[in-house]
């Protein structure tokens, strides 16, 4: 299995290739930039290794406590390191924490819960293409991470 430094280096190489592709092919630089930001976010904060006490886990700072329940998943299981399914689970997991946070804010401020959720929903709808581009970038980062894990494991078995 590749270590954190190897993952980061490989992801950054893929990112450089992706930036080149965006610059060459995209007329919508905003969405290309959203893909790049999503890819970086996936490389440094929202990656499959949140299922262990890893660098991405530590980068969450005081919010890293929220990933402790997620770490009940077996490391490198399909639920954390599965193509697409791992990303979906991480985003659903973050959405659950956002909903809890909105509930806490509602209790603390006497502002109805629905107002917080409606504001979030409006933001996502207004920026849906940038938001989707961000998620695509994050998923590309996860895919690079998982492919690196598979290649590293295969290489170690063969040699």
Query: How many structural domains compose the chain?
Result: 1
Q: Between 5 and 118, name the one with better pLDDT.
A: 118
- The pLDDT tens digits of the residues spanning 96-113 come to 999 999 999 999 998 999
Q: What is the mean pLDDT of the chain?
A: 88
Where in the sequence is the domain holding 47, given as residue range(s)?
4-158
* Residue-by-residue DSSP string for the chain: ---HHHHHHHHHHHHHHHHHHHHHH-S-HHHHHHHHHHHHHHHHTSSGGGGSS-HHHHHTGGGGGGGTGGGGSPTT-HHHHSTTHHHHHHHHHHHHHHHHHHHHHHHHH---HHHHHHHHHHHHHHTHHHHHHHHHHHHHHHHHHHHHHHHHHHHHHH-
* pLDDT value at residue 152: 76
- Round to whole Å and give the CA distance between 74 and 31: 34
Q: How confident is the model at residue 25 (pLDDT cuts 50, 70, 90)?
A: low
């Amino acid at each position: 299995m590749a270590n954190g430094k190897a993952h980061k280096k490989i992801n950054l190489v893929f990112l450089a290739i992706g930036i080149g592709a965006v610059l060459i092919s995209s007329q919508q630089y905003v969405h290309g930039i959203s893909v790049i930001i999503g890819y970086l976010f996936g490389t440094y904060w929202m990656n499959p290794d949140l299922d262990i006490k890893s660098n991405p886990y530590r980068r969450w700072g005081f919010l890293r406590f929220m990933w402790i329940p997620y770490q009940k998943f077996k490391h490198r299981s399909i639920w954390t390191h599965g193509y697409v399914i791992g990303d979906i689970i991480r985003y659903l997991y973050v959405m659950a924490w956002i909903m809890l946070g909105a509930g806490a804010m509602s209790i603390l401020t006497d502002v109805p819960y629905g107002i917080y959720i409606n504001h979030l929903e409006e933001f996502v709808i207004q920026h849906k293409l940038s938001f989707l581009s961000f998620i695509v970038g994050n998923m590309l980062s996860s895919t690079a991470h998982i492919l690196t894990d598979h290649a590293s494991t295969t290489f170690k078995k063969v040699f």
